[in-house]
A and B are shown apart, each in its own frame.
Chain A
């Protein structure tokens, strides 16, 4: 009994100490629930003819009667339009919990899981590299220019920030592909790697991957870097007034050291949560970017599925991308609360 009580006390302390994390976890789960409901609404709202068309396609493919094909279709999709709505929702939820995101209604051999497994790594590849480069470049440039507001570099950066805000990322993409792929021919205008190479973990293949991803990454970096330098400037502005910066100056430390060790590190802390937002923006923008570059990633699959009205692929990809973005947000919040304990107390 004594042991049980002490266990309860420890549990309560544990919950209290990490209440920030548990709160964020709760919000993440609720958001996930909202996304699931949204995807379900998408399925419910699809026109009834979609299933008929799918059944027709199955009956031709497998040489079975239309009635049999209809039953097969409802089984494959796990969706019976005649069942009551709650039953449909529970079946849908059950499928999701088993990790089954549905089948393409345009091509019964292609499941959403298969599409994701094939195409997700490419989108992740491009967006993670772009995120890293733009974060590193943007924070460096931002913290350097905040020191001397009137210098040429700071003015050039201001100009660049305004321009990159004015030109949407997909227009940057259009200009890049027109100039460097179609006109100059320096970079490929479609695909993710040289089709003549065998996919594998060797240096030539990785170089080919990087070569094909160069333009998409550049377009992302061009539009994301201004975001990071702006965020960094805002954050560094707050740090600049702190006593320890003045103390460091008074001690006669060189400017470079102050910027690198005092200003940048402190100003970077709050930006960690922004990483998740930036990642979400990039992932959300993938349908447009990838279809402009003809880059066969998850975004292109998504926009293609929209164009073909392939409802199951659409809801599957939306669900999966949302799960990733929600997860990344949660991780960023957790990391932030770990490296900056003040945030835990303010929750």
Chain B
């Protein structure tokens, strides 16, 4: 049967609106995920368009050192007279890209290893399980520190890869466990009896079932990546972008902002941005959890 172009188009429109509805229901379906999504969208938009609206110049202006917050400088100025608010805006994209890349890398590693271990089983599974156990036992921050000192961190990609070295292990173990339990379910057994290809089983049957788990963890890894990256910057091993929130915080801390009441806003602005972002991310992950795991809603 050949469909007319108009029919195809309308069908495509139906499908895409249905898809958009589904996405909207997932992300705006309950109050928590709606709030979380809004916060995340706000920061993404800020990262893309913020620098255009609020251009930042790193020129030193000694006449406006450590000004208190005003209309012109909502978060005051730093020790060198530069606007803190604009630094935060410009740094957003750097923070977000580190978090996003790190989540991408760790989810990719965890998904590939976890699914392989669950599917293949045997000695391969045991080896992967052992490696994840090693990574879960060794304290991560010291090793981050060592890695950051060994490799010069000067771009978001290296930074994200260092951060994801340790964040995949827990997720990998959980994905493996889910795959193993799914493998024994009837619908997978039926697929096997019907001699469907492994590619079909993995991508059409298993992935959709662990998809929500992976999505939620993607968001949680983003949160952990920000915690880790700012921590490393505070220890002074990975400050390459001076407007990254962590770098602003570190500069403020090292320039005596802890003692001087005039510069509290300089110290507090990055803390506030980090906290709001993390809060949004946590709300989103909890909201998604509510949507995908309705068992919890009864509580």
User: What is A's interface to B at a CB cutoff of 8 Å?
Assistant: 27, 30-31, 34-35, 38, 42, 45, 149, 162-163, 165-168, 170-171, 174-175, 177-178, 182-183, 237, 280-281, 283-285, 287-288, 291-292, 302-303, 306-307, 309, 314, 317-318, 321-322, 325-326, 329
Contacts and interface: CB of A to CB of B under 8 A. Distances in A.
Given A162-B283, A174-B253, A288 B141 contact: yes
What 9 A-B pairs are tightest by C-beta distance, nearest first? Answer: A284-B139, A166-B278, A166-B279, A168-B227, A284-B141, A34-B134, A178-B258, A31-B134, A182-B259
Interface in B256-276: 258-259, 261, 264, 267, 271, 274-275
Contacts of A170: 230-231, 234
- Secondary structure at the B interface, as helix, strand, loop or mixed, is helix
Interface string B268-299: 00010011001100110010000000000001
A174 B279 contact: no
Measured as residues with beta carbon below 8 angstroms from the partner, the interface class of chain B is 35 or more
A284 B264 CA distance: 29
B138 A31 contact: yes
A337 B138 CA distance: 22
Contacts, number: 108
Contact of A31 (B133, B237, B249, B267): B133
B145 A306 contact: yes
A318 B137 CA distance: 12
Nearest to B129: A27
Nearest to B270: A171
A27 B137 CA distance: 11
Interface string B141-172: 11101100110000000000000000000000
Contacts of B283: 162
Contacts of A177: 258
A285 B143 CA distance: 11
Contacts of B236: 307
B140 interface: yes
B137 A31 contact: yes
Contacts of A31: 133-134, 137-138
Contact of A30 (B130, B145, B286): B130
A329 B137 contact: yes
Nearest to A277: B136
Nearest to B151: A45
A147 B149 CA distance: 49
Contacts of B249: 174
Given A167-B274, A307-B235, 19 more contacts: A27-B133, A30-B130, A35-B134, A166-B278, A168-B227, A170-B230, A170-B231, A171-B274, A174-B258, A182-B259, A284-B142, A285-B141, A287-B235, A288-B234, A288-B235, A307-B237, A321-B139, A322-B138, A322-B139
A306 to B, nearest CB: 5
Contacts of B258: 174, 177-178, 182
Contact of A292 (B134, B141, B234): B234
A287 B141 contact: yes
B149 A287 contact: no
